[in-house]
Amino acid sequence: MSRSGAVLRVCRSAVATGLAVLVAGCATGLESLPLPAPGGAGGDRISLTAVFSNALNLPAKAKVKLNGADIGDVETIRAKNFAAYVTMRISAGVPLRAGTTAELRSATPLGDVFVAIKPDPHAAADAPLLRDGDTIAMNSTSAAATVEDVLSSATLLINGGAIRRLVTIVNGAGSAVGGRGEKVAALLEHSNALISRLNARSAQIVGALRSTSDLTAALSARQKTLNEAIAAAGPGIGTIKANTRQLADLVDAVARVSNQLNRFPSMKGTDTRSMIADLNRLSATFNEISVDPALQLNRFNWLNELWISAAKGPNLAAAADIAQLALGSLPDKNWPGDPAFHGPDGTDWHAMIGSLRYEWNLLLSRIYGPEHLPR
C-alpha cells in the first residue's frame, strides 16, 4: 500500500469517530442543553430587593427595565410576612437614586411580567445613590394586574350588563331625540355660535379677568387699611344697631310729615295740588319775571307815586273821589240801591260760623281723609 492511501484511511477513521461522538452527544436530549437568561447585563452588578404585595406571574430571570432598556434580571423571589421579596441583579453603571420606585408590568395582557424601575423625577441632584443590598419598600412598589384579574374584569364587563346598559342608553337617547332632530341641531348651532362669540371676545374676557386680578391684588395689598376702617366703623355700627328702633321711628315720622305736606291742599280743596307744588310753581314764576328782559315797572312806579303822596308827612293821608256809592238798599242820585242787600243781623253771624266750619271740615278731610270727619 502506498503512503497516500494510508493517510486517506487514517482521515476516514477520524471523521467516522467524530460523527459517532456527535451522534452519541445528541442522544442525551435537548433538555440537557443550557438556555440563556431572558435578560441581563454584563459587567459589575449590584443586588437590590423590592418588596411587592404580590408577585404572581413574575418568572425567575425576568427582565428588569429602565425606560424600556434592560438593566438586569430577577435573581430570586421569596415570600415573607405575606409579601413578596424580589431580589434583582442590576448593572452597577446605572445610577439609581433614593426615591426610585418599582412596578410589575407586562407588555401585553397575556405577556410576560417584568420589573419596571422608575426614578423619582423630583429627586434632588445630590440625592444618595442606591447601593448594593438596599431595599425598595412596599410603599414605593406596585403590582401588575394578574391574568385572572384581566379575565374576571372582561367577564364582568361582558356578562355584568355594562354593554347591554350602554346599548339601552344609546337606544333611549335615540328615542328621546326621535322626531326632534332639528331642535338638537338648533341647540348645537346655538352652542357653536356661543362658543364662537366667546372665542372672538377672548381678549375682552382676558382683560376682565386681568382687571379682576388687579383689583384683588389691590384689595389684598390694602387689607390692613380695610381692616382698620372696619374696626373704626365698629362702634358706629354698634350705635346704629342699638338705636335701630329709634332710627326707624324717625324715618317713619319723616315719611308721615312728608306725606302730609304732599297732601296739604289749597284752602278751598277744589284740586289735588300740594302747597309745596304751589310754592315751587310760584318760585318758578318769580324767577321768570326776574330774568324777563321785557319787564316794565311803569305801573308799579305809578303806584309808588300814590304811596309817596300818602306818606309825605308823619301821618298817613289819602285823597279819594267816590263817583258812585250805594250802601245796601239806600240809593243815591246816580246809582240805584240793591234791594237784596241789608245790614248785618243774626243770620249773618250764623252764616259766617257755618262757612268757617265748612272750610275747616274741608281742610280736615284733605289732611286725614273723609272718614275722620265728625258725624
Q: For 200-258, give the secondary structure using H, E and C.
A: HCHHHHHHHHHHHHHHHHHHHHCHHHHHHHHHHHHHHHHHHHHCHHHHHHHHHHHHHHH
d(CA 206, CA 116): 44
Residue numbers of the domain that contains 102: 45-151
Asked if residues 334 and 340 have their Cβ atoms less than 8 Å apart, the reply is: no
The total number of residues written for the chain in this structure = 375
Residues 102, 25, single domain; the answer is: no
Label residue 25 by pLDDT band (50, 70, 90). Answer: very low
Instruction: Please list, in sequence order, all residues whose beta carbon lies within 8 angstroms of the beta carbon of residue 61, skipping any fewer than 6 positions away.
Output: 37, 38, 39, 40, 73, 74
Query: What is the 3-state secondary structure of 262-308?
Result: HHCCCCCCCCCCCHHHHHHHHHHHHHHHHCCCCCCCHHHHHHHHHHH
CA dihedral sign, ordered 173, 178, 183, 186: positive
Instruction: Assess if residue 363 is contained within a domain.
Output: yes
Residues 63, 1, single domain; the answer is: no
CB count in 10 Å sphere of residue 151: 12
Instruction: Assess if residue 358 is contained within a domain.
Output: yes
More confident residue, 312 or 208: 208
d(CA 346, CA 354): 13
Asked if residues 116 and 103 have their Cβ atoms less than 8 Å apart, the reply is: yes
Residues 74, 17, single domain; the answer is: no
Label residue 374 by pLDDT band (50, 70, 90). Answer: low
Instruction: Assess if residue 67 is contained within a domain.
Output: yes
Instruction: Assess if residue 129 is contained within a domain.
Output: yes
Q: How far is CA 353 from CA 94, 204, 268, 366, 370, in A?
A: 124, 78, 16, 20, 21
Residues 1, 77, single domain; the answer is: no
DSSP conformational letter for 138: G
- pLDDT at residue 211 in the model: 92
Residues 63, 4, single domain; the answer is: no
Label residue 261 by pLDDT band (50, 70, 90). Answer: low
Dihedral angle computed from the Cα positions of residues 277, 279, 280 and 282, in that order, rounded to the nearest 10 degrees: 120
Instruction: Assess if residue 344 is contained within a domain.
Output: yes
The three grid cell numbers given for residue 341, joined into one nine-digit string? 242787600
Does residue 137 carry a pLDDT above 60? yes
Instruction: Assess if residue 139 is contained within a domain.
Output: yes
Identity of residue 137: A
Count: domains in the chain = 3
- β-bridge mates for residue 292, sequence order: none
How confident is the model over 86-96, as a mean pLDDT? 88
Dihedral angle computed from the Cα positions of residues 150, 152, 153 and 154, in that order, rounded to the nearest 10 degrees: 80
Identify the helix (H) or strand (E) that includes residue 367: helix 346-368
How confident is the model over 250-266, as a mean pLDDT? 74
212-216 CB contacts, 8 Å cutoff, 24+ apart: none
More confident residue, 12 or 231: 231
For strands 135-136 and 45-52, give the pairing: parallel
- pLDDT at residue 320 in the model: 67
Identity of residue 338: D
197: left (phi over 0), alpha (psi -120 to 50) or beta: alpha
Residues 61, 141, single domain; the answer is: yes
Residues 144, 110, single domain; the answer is: yes
What percentage of the chain exceeds 90 in pLDDT? 5
Residues 49, 30, single domain; the answer is: no
Instruction: Please list, in sequence order, all residues whose beta carbon lies within 8 angstroms of the beta carbon of residue 264, skipping any fewer than 6 positions away.
Output: 274, 275, 276, 366, 367
More confident residue, 323 or 30: 323
How confident is the model over 7-24, as a mean pLDDT? 47
Instruction: Assess if residue 25 is contained within a domain.
Output: yes
More confident residue, 162 or 11: 162
Instruction: Assess if residue 357 is contained within a domain.
Output: yes
> By three-state DSSP, how is residue 197 classified?
helix
Residues 103, 24, single domain; the answer is: no
**Domain end marker among 151, 184, 202:** 151
